Structure formats: structure tokens, C-alpha cells
Amino acid sequence: MLKDQQIIAIGGGGFGRNPKHNKIEKYILNQVDINKPNVLFIPTASGEDKSYIINFYSCFSKLKCSPNHITFFQRTLRLDSLINKADVIYVGGGNTKSMLAVWREWKLDILLRKAYLKGKILCGVSAGAICWFEQGVTDSWASNLNSMQCLGIIDGMCCPHYQEEEERRPAVHKMIKDDKLMSGWSIDGGAAVHFKNGNYYKSLRFYEDSNVYHVSKSNKRVIEEKQVMTQL
């Protein structure tokens, strides 16, 4: 029986900020149909920040799973073996542009596509959310927000931290209006979007008042549609 192909894109928050807040992490694990799934953390975007990795283990070691992580800046284990063993692959936040450059050098992007097709759950926060889409809105450049090409597993664009950083909404609207950004998903911190088999499935809220929006353009007007939220 073929497994669903699933991606869960998180707009901000989760164990990186507080490892005791684990609502979205529990939701992710509940999507796996085995008793104790292997969870693989990829902290490339943060430069493999040690405190981030500690928070990952602090959170997931208390849940019913087996956590592990990938490092590129020390001796790197066989990536294909690590990916093949994983049931859930969680990508952390940070600098998206630098992360994708490292992944492509190591051909991890190819391994992640294969993992997705095999039914392994791909998920992540911020940079780890936008990487799965055709385009992402990123602050990888210090000067201003930009759009960039990502892996293209999910159609459209993604913008995380939508309500957390006041410049995000006007920047997304302007880029879409100017045809520099395709339509897609804007996700507040404390919210996430779940996709199944390439299609929108559900919007999730694990912080109070957080939301998900589909943003598009029609007749030269930008349309922002708030989604129905499932409270975790």
C-alpha cells in the first residue's frame, strides 16, 4: 500500500523557541503509522547552532520517537543511510539561501525528493517550511525581504512569520502585485499548513490567534484568504 506524501510547513515557533511547547511536534508524530518513528533533524540553516540541536533533543527525546540529526560542518555520515532510516525529516530555521547551497553541494536535495516520494514526512519551520515550495519569501539577505527559488515539491510560494514581522505582509502583497512572487501560503508563527499528495489538506494553530492565509492575485488586486484553522 502506497503511503501518502506529506509536508507540514510551520510558520514559526515550536521547539526551537521552547522545547516544552510540543503541540505541533506531537501532531507531526501522530501522522506516522508506526509506534516509535525515527525523527531526523537537519539544522543546516542555523549553521548547526548547538543550542538549537540541544532543544531538538530536549523536545523529541520526551516524545515517543527516536531522534537523530545531520551535520555538514563536522564529519558527515552517509546521508542516504540517515535519510533511509528516517520516518520524519524536520528542517530547522535560519538562512534558506545558504542551506540550499549546502544541500545541493551534498545532493541532499535529491535525497529529500526521493524520501518524499517514498512517503517519509517532510516538515520544518521558517527556512525549513519555505524550502519545500517553488518560491519562498526570505530574509536570508540582511537588507530586505526577497523571493527565492526553492525545491518546488509543493506548488506556489510560502512566507513564514507572517504576523510576527510587520514588514512581511506588505512585502508579500507588493511582490505578488508586481508579479515577482506567485500565489501561495503565508503562515503566522504558531501556525502550520499540512499538505497531502501535493494538495492542501489542513491549517493548524498551536499558538492562540495564529492563522494561515492563501494570498493570490485577481484582476490586478491581491486577495488574502484566511483559512479555517484546526486548534491543536
C-alpha cell, 150? 526553492
Q: What's the order of all strands across the beta sheet hosting 121-125?
A: 66-69, 38-42, 88-91, 121-125, 6-10, 191-196, 199-205, 229-231
Short-list 179, 199, 190, 187, CA closest to 158: 187
Locate cell 494538495: which residue? 199
- The answer to whether the Cα torsion of 104, 71, 117, 214 is positive or negative is negative
Coil, strand, or helix at residue 116? helix
Active site residues: 126, 161
- The answer to whether the Cα torsion of 102, 42, 3, 196 is positive or negative is negative
Ramachandran angles phi, psi of 89, nearest 5°: -120, 115
Q: What CA–CA distances, in Å, run from 34 to 38, 81, 87, 222?
A: 10, 19, 9, 43
Q: What's the order of all strands across the beta sheet hosting 146-149?
A: 146-149, 133-138, 154-159, 184-187, 212-218, 221-226
The helix (run of H) or strand (run of E) holding residue 134 is strand 133-138
